[in-house]
Structure 1
Amino acid sequence: MSDDLPGKVTPPLPEPKRHTAPLSPPRRPRWQRILIRAMGLAIAVILTWLILAYLILPVLWRHYEHHPIMERAPKITRTAQGIPGDPLNVGLIGSKEELIQSMLNSGWDAADPITLRSSLAIARSVLRNRPDADAPVSNLYLFGRKQDLAFEKPVGTSARHRHHVRFWESSDYGRDGIPLWIGAVTYDRSVGFSRRTGQITHHIGPDIDAERNGLIADLQSHGWLTEEFQVTGVGPTLSGRNGGGDRYFTDGELTIGVLASSSVPDRSPSALKNPVAIRIKDQLWSAIRPLLQSLPDPQDQDSR
């Protein structure tokens, strides 16, 4: 007997549930995938560079094993206005007499102090294109005072161009009671106006390492050095600016020589080696140095 009553509508049976797989997100266009990967790679490179440049390499490229006291030494000179000046890149251990004798004997002349007479003489040298072997150098400051001694080596027939070095005596950074004469040696390539103060000044060439190496080579060739080594100076610098606004670059090393009491021709000084990390840095620097030498200075509008 049927359970259906007359007039009763039987509801339809529910359809069985269908299990469908979740829809996957639409695939990004190829150019978007390439862009995201490139951005990720760029971020990784930048982070790696920041870690190397600001954390690891500054530690690896600092060394004072041959003269530990130099870790506390100043690294740069100052102008009279307190502006950072030329980096310190050379030092000589010896008496005042040994320093003067060795420099004069190695082809350098003592610079005159700045007076009205010496200032007029250097002006005539520049204007008339005549040499002035004893032309004065402007004052820079270290240990609260101007340079104790200054020397120059003329180039050509005018005081526009010359190698010059300023020295400051320091007993604190010397050795065995013998003072260290810490110095800044640069090359004057032209005369013009300071970009920072507007005063008339010499403008230096950017490759200050060449000047450091040249001074040490002069002393070596004349037999005045018994020992030579390096410590970290201002540190590797790709584009620094001195007190006159001039660009310079440097591997950051400060070369120190120990002076002999007398000249011995063909003397070969004892050369103390740098650590391995510094030697690797020097190899890298020698690879990029030609590029740095070829870069023009966008602010250089001075006559040469």
Structure 2
Amino acid sequence: MSDSSPRPFDAQYPKYRGDPNNVSKQRYFMMNMGKRVLEGWADKLYFVFAGIASIWLAVVALIDSWYHSWWGILIAFGFWFFSAYLTLPRFHRIMTDLYVPDYFIGRTRTGDGLLGDPVNIGLRGTAEEIHTAMKKAGWVKADPVTLASSWRIIVNTLRKRPYPTAPVSPLYLFHRSENFAYQQEVDGSPSKRHHVRFWKAPEGWKLPGGEPVDWLAAATFDRAVGLSLFTFQITHKIDAETDKERDYVVETVLYCNQKARSDLIEDFSSGYHSRNGGGDTILTDGDLPILDLTSVCNRQDERHNAQRYERMHRRRPWELVEQAPLSVWLASAFTSLVILLQAFLSVTHLGVLVNPKDSFEVDVQRFWQMYIAPVVIVVVLVITIIQIFLVVWTIRGSQLARKILLALLSFSFISNALSLVFGTEQDISTTYTIYVLMASQVYALLEFTSDGAVNYTFNMTRQKSRR
């Protein structure tokens, strides 16, 4: 049996003391939320505009649903999608940026700015020592959220196959998502798993009270799949007794790593009950175990792995395209769709600009078709190609290209909104404008102003400027 595999046949291997089948009702409620720092005034402006645009689009979709009959159900589904995945998450982010204090309180944040899972483990050691200790304890490293891993989730779910290294949804601490995560499947079920996320603490940072740690972790047990209470998105639901998952992680690491040590800060925080970003109840006693892993890894091997990591990150930025977060890929895909649709419509509308009624207008139309229309088509194609190149540069990590695309998307959305409000489109045109064109624009705006896209392009641009 490999070091990275669970040990179900080891009678002394620590047991999870929670109930994996617990589906009890949750009773407690708390509405504190998180905060986010954006880079520059332009990102703040686009961030708010994307939220307003998503709210406006959701309202328009709801109003539009009243004018349809048999396929009103599809319109209602579209309204739910806009509300759950576009409007409510951004609304939460805007509100949490206004009033939630920005300091460590022992809680993570969701991508929507809501308070997430509790931080319930501290660690001392390097990343390599954590990887070694977790693999020896039977945990497997979760894949990052990328286009490939997201596709694999869909395929494995449809084929009802297990995915032991399935990605975990990102949570945020120190204004960034986790460095990595580890997990264990339960009976091969995609809806149940043990998992723990790890964040590197800033240099010189200490816990409240002065205790130094190198890493912080949040361990919770996924018990089922359901809808988020706050955004109505499909998500994993966690078991309320997070202390049992915390203790399970610590005990498995200590059991399989003889050189690992553990201390306990009792009553690190007050015992409390609350809810995480998905609306799941959290119950904790407030204790914080500190795992010392500084002796579990051979130092020579650790230096070798550190050198290999450094060599990998000396590659040029455009060689690191595969590291682009899923938000960048999704935003780029929807932006490309908008660009191609608008180019197609621009070309097809050229033929109706002149409607001849007399000989003079016939001559005008002939002149238009022979001289003006080809030039306009070439201009449209050139603009389309430039925009596609901006998309490619954004995927490669260009901060400037991302902001230019945000400006173009914002202008295009405002133009379509004005046309929708004051225009005289037919029913099919209105449906296309709302549910295809403007929905794609709003989704691209939201993804391009997300944490993943902002941090990725900012860091990649800064990395390239230092070379």
Which residue identity does 1:243 align to in structure 2?
A: G
CA distance in 2, matches of 1:99, 1:116: 26
1:153 CA displacement:
1.1
Residue 290 of structure 2 is aligned to residue 261 of structure 1: no
Structure 1 residue 172 corresponds to structure 2 residue 204: yes
Structure 2 residue ranges without an equivalent (≥5): 1-102, 299-467
Q: Which residue of 2 aligns with 1:112?
A: 143
Map 1:1-304; keep pairs closer than 5 Å.
73-170=104-201, 171-173=203-205, 180-223=214-257, 224-237=259-272, 239-262=273-296
Structure 1 contact 85–242 (Cα < 8 Å) conserved = yes
Deviates more, 1:72-81 or 1:193-202: 72-81
Question: What one-letter code is carried by the residue in structure 2 that aligns with 1:247?
Answer: T
| In structure 2, distance between residues paired with 1:233 and 1:159 | 33
Alpha-carbon distance between aligned partners in 1 of 2:231 and 2:268, rounded to the nearest angstrom: 26
Aligned residues: 192
Secondary structure of the equivalent of 2:204? strand
Contact 2:185/2:194 (8 A) holds in 1: yes
Higher helix share: 2
Separation in 2, partners of 1:204, 1:126: 20
Asked whether the 8 Å contact 2:197–2:217 carries over to 1, the reply is yes
Aligned letter for 2:296?
S
Amino acid at match of 2:260: L
For 1:236, the aligned partner's letter is: G
Checking the alignment, whether the CA contact within 8 Å between 1:125 and 1:158 is kept in structure 2 is no
Gaps (5+ residues) in structure 1? 1-71, 265-304
Change (3 A) 1:192 1:124: farther
TM-score normalized by structure 2? 0.38
- Superimposed CA distance per residue, residues 190-224 of structure 1 (whole angstroms, 9 cap, x where no aligned partner): 12221111222111011100000000000110124
Matched-pair contact (CA < 8 Å) for 1:93–1:174: no
Contact 1:77 1:140 in 2 (8 A): yes
Residue 129 (structure 1) shift? 3.9
**Structure 1 residues 24-48: Cα deviation after superposition (integer angstroms, max 9, x where no partner):** xxxxxxxxxxxxxxxxxxxxxxxxx
More strand by share: 1
Shift of the alpha carbon at 1:234? Answer: 4.3
The alignment's TM-score, normalised by the length of structure 1, stands at: 0.58
* Cα contact 1:160–1:188 (8 A) shared by 2: yes
Q: Distance in 2 between matches of 1:233 and 1:160?
A: 31
Q: CA RMSD in A?
A: 2.5
Q: Secondary structure at the match of 1:198?
A: coil
> Quick one: which amino acid aligns to residue 172 of structure 1?
G
In structure 2, relative to structure 1, the CA distance for the partners of 1:259 and 1:121 (3 Å cut) is: same
CA contact (8 A) 1:95 1:179 kept: no
Displacement of 1:250 in angstroms is: 0.9
Q: Which has the larger radius of gyration?
A: 1
Equivalent residues of 1:92, 1:256 under 8 A apart = yes
CA distance in 2, matches of 1:109, 1:148: 15
Deviations 1:101-147 (A, max 9, x none): 11111111111111222123234444544321110000111101011
- The sequence identity of aligned pairs, in percent, is 41
